[in-house]
Amino acid sequence: MATRGAVSSLLLLFITIVCKGLSSPLQGKEAWNYVEVRDGAHMFWWLYYADSQSAGYQDLPLVMWLQGGPGGSGTGFGNFEEIGPLNRDLKPRKTHWVQAASVLFVDNPVGTGFSYTDRPDVYATDVATVASDMLVLLKHFFTERAEFQSIPFHIFSESYGGKMAAAISLELTKAIAQGTVKCNFAGVALGDSWISPLDSVMTWGPYLYTTSLLDDNGLVGVNAAAEAVMHAIHQEQFQKATELWSVTESVVEQNTNGVNFYNILTQEEDEKVLSSAGENYIALQTRRHIGRLHGQSLSELMNGPIRKKLGIIPQNVTWGGQAEEVFSYMAGDFMKPVVDIVDQLLTAGVNVTVYNGQLDLIVDTMGQERWVKRLKWEGLPGFNKLIWTPLYDPSSPGITGAFYKMYKNFAFYWILKAGHMIPSDQGPMALQMMKMITQQV
Ligand SMILES: *[C@@H]1O[C@H](CO)[C@@H](O)[C@H](O)[C@H]1NC(C)=O
Ligand SMILES: *[C@@H]1O[C@H](CO)[C@@H](O)[C@H](O)[C@H]1NC(C)=O
């Protein structure tokens, strides 16, 4: 009897843990909601209060995470594949960010993740609308959660999320100055960010050539395709530039036997997305870039147990269901640079960090260096004169995990052995970097 009793209480314990794992990751507090940011445009956010053994959430920063695409979901991909407390199998993630910050995921632009639009005419078509929508959300958020008004607020981003983060940061800075949003904005971190699309595309050839992924003929082909993108951008034909960007990717794929744009050292047969003749380029780019953020098991998780747990997702809204439209409506804006916005942020005194993965191709580090060197910011000569500092990988003592430089309000982190999704590839280093940027170490 005693044994049976022990077994059944073990079973009970097990069930409790499993159910708890679903209903409340760790012990931390969570909240989520929708904000109607424009008529018919519903934006979803999900907040994890910081859950640390050494400090209360009041003493830790608030980090907002913005995913790329546009159309990639922070509440899904960022949360369960990168920095959230649980991974896609709902197992605890050792290097999750909630141990050092409250983390706010927002599915933006509208139509992304669990966000949705009632009508096609309310999709965002430019980054200015993306920013003004987010300002509405943040105004609601900091009013509803007034406890966060004085907590240092950092925006972290990845890929296209960085372009949005730059624009949002500038609008937020203005709104705070005007008193329309109450928050303690502490800075923006741009991870593998689509700040200057042309600089990324123009460096694909040289980067792949020096890493033995192109031969001489391939280099000529990729450079020629990239130059066509350049001409379109110089003529301000941005929709055409997006189309030619897609063509350039196909040229890269043909000449590299399908290199992984997100990490040049990992190629998986089932991840290869090769173009097929006559395919519409939006459909191709959705498969290439948005599809990657909506893998089958993540979709099943989000549209199954997670939507059940959240309880507020309208019945006819599918996580990821409008992602292709989000990308498609933004296609005319996609290739426009926002380097001038970064300059304005720096001049306004906002703390700006750029961090980039060594093995990323889609937004390679060479391309980031090119636009950084063109900044008009008065601190640039001082930044350029600095010698970088090595950082050790917290999980491998004595092994270099990154380099960084910081001058006045600008910092750059070169993250080694990471591709586009830095927290997925180098979790301990990414967590350490987040702590440095938020001034915890
Ligand atoms: C869901 O249904 C409502 C009511 O019929 C409709 O107004 C809305 O457009 C639908 N939303 C989506 C995302 O299909
Ligand atoms: C910007 O970064 C510097 C250096 O880390 C820090 O001293 C300063 O407080 C930061 N500014 C804000 C507004 O957080």
Q: Which pLDDT tens digit goes with each residue over 105-126? A: 999 999 999 999 999 999 999 9
Instruction: Pick the ligand that lies closest to the CA of residue 325.
Output: 1
In this predicted structure, what is the pLDDT of residue 267? 83
Res. 191 pLDDT band, cuts 50 70 90 = very high
Angle subtended at Cα 311 by Cα 309 and Cα 314, rounded to the nearest 5 degrees: 135
In this predicted structure, what is the pLDDT of residue 227? 98
214, part of any domain: yes
Specify the DSSP element, H or E, that contains 352: strand 352-357
235, part of any domain: yes
| pLDDT tens track for 272-306 | 666 676 778 888 888 888 888 989 999 999 999 99
253, part of any domain: yes
Domain that holds residue 257: 197-293
Q: Does position 6 have pLDDT exceeding 60, yes or no?
A: no
In this predicted structure, what is the pLDDT of residue 272? 63
What is the Cβ-side half-sphere exposure of residue 423, based on CA atoms within 13 angstroms?
A: 27
pTM greater than 0.85: yes
Name which residue leads in pLDDT, 112 or 5.
Answer: 112
Residues lining ligand 2, judged by CB closer than 6 Å?
Answer: 152, 186-187, 351, 409, 439
Angle, helices 238-256/216-234, rounded to nearest 10 degrees: 170
The two most distant CA atoms of the chain are separated, in Å, by 82
Q: Counting Cβ atoms within 10 Å, is residue 80 exposed (0-12), middle (13-18) or buried (19+)?
A: buried
* Total domain count, the chain: 1
In this predicted structure, what is the pLDDT of residue 274? 65
Q: Which atom of ligand 1 is nearest to the CA of 317?
A: 13
252, part of any domain: yes
Please tell me the residue having the least CA distance from ligand 1 atom 2: 316
Backbone φ and ψ for 46, nearest 5 degrees, come out as -145, 120
Q: Does position 440 have pLDDT exceeding 70, yes or no?
A: yes
Testing ligand 1's pocket by substitution, the residue of 43, 118, 307, 326 carrying the most ligand atoms inside 8 A of its CB is 118
236, part of any domain: yes
What is the Cβ-side half-sphere exposure of residue 50, based on CA atoms within 13 angstroms?
A: 23
CA-closest candidate to residue 273, choices 325, 283, 369, 396: 283
Q: Does position 8 have pLDDT exceeding 60, yes or no?
A: no
64, part of any domain: no
148, part of any domain: no
**Over residues 402-415, mean pLDDT:** 98
Q: Does position 19 have pLDDT exceeding 50, yes or no?
A: no
| pLDDT tens track for 165-186 | 999 999 999 999 999 999 999 9
Testing ligand 2's pocket by substitution, the residue of 150, 351, 441 carrying the most ligand atoms inside 8 A of its CB is 351
Cβ pair 398, 392 in contact under 8 A: yes
Residue 338 Cα to ligand 1 midpoint, Å, equals 34
Residue 322 Cα to ligand 1 midpoint, Å, equals 12
Instruction: Pick the ligand that lies closest to the CA of residue 40.
Output: 1
Beta bridge partners of 156: 65, 189
Q: Identify the sign of the CA torsion 265, 268, 271, 273.
A: positive
183, part of any domain: no
- Residue 420 annotated as catalytic: yes
Residues whose CB falls within 8 Å of the CB of residue 290, separated by 6 or more in sequence, listed in order:
69, 71, 72, 323, 324, 327
